[in-house]
Amino acid sequence: MKFAIWGFQSDAEIKSYVGEILGKLLDEGHELFMLDSFAQQIECDNLQVNIITENDIPRDTDFIISIGGDGTLLSSAQAVMRTPIPILGINLGSLGFLTTLERDWRSGLDDILKGHYRIDERMVLNCRLEFEDGTEETLWALNDVVIERADVFNLLATEVRVGEELLNRYLSDGLILSTPTGSTAYALSAGGPIIDPSLEAISITPISPHTLSVRPVVLTGEKSIYVTLSNPEGLAHLHIDGKNTRHIDGSIRIRIRPSSYRIQLVVTPDNTFYEKLRKKLNWGQRST
């Protein structure tokens, strides 16, 4: 099999785990590729590992193995956004909602290599920036599209339409437009709902809204969502999955809808969304 090893953080623990994973996969005769920046960070000098850039991932790669936390997996998702390469996440971070294996990854990896896994397809947002001169830029988000105020002293005024119909004019610190996958990320901390990732839905969660009656809403994704700044001279920051920041103003219209692409996550048969919720959020456990 062919694996691409992905990461962007390094410490003694990560170096140790990566060395063990590389040794295991190479001993079993697999072909390995590693992101150049990650190889440099962990000081990988194994001549059997092919060093590549994020634009050179072979299209016939069987899995990307993301080593880190959710942020690492999100960055690997950006690299394979329009290719059918599944991602296997090994969590060496803190929470790890998107990853499949934890620090005791060995038996789980053995099962996956034997074919005991399933593919969990996750919805992606297509975010198109429409500029005043008629040009466009398209970005994709596995977790969320966040529009936040650029002026720390003033609230951000935005207008949101679903198709041609006005949904609301928000006065807040910003908006989070989230996939079901991203519903357990920034949107959750801002008071948004948890959404089953099998649904094709988009949640809109205002960040610290000026009016308390303004609540998060969940939309079906059947219609495009359009966001503009209400003030033509307003400024804001747009973030895609916590990265890919763009500076926007009142002349730009943002269109958000479900993408035709899907991100494929490799999961073990017993790794279900509800089991992960109970485990990661400590549901059903009494505080001491």
Give catalytic residue positions.
70
3-state class percentages of the chain: helix first, strand second, coil last, to nearest 5: 20, 40, 40
CB-based burial of residue 225 (10 Å sphere; 0-12 exposed, 13-18 middle, 19+ buried)? Answer: buried
Q: Which residues contact 1 (CB under 8 A, 6 or more apart)?
A: 30, 31, 62, 63, 113
- Residues paired with 123 in a beta bridge: 262
Which amino acid, one-letter code, is at 179?
T
- Stretch (H or E) spanning 37: helix 36-41
Q: How far is Cα 131 from Cα 118, in angstroms, rounded to an integer? A: 41
3-state secondary structure of 271: coil
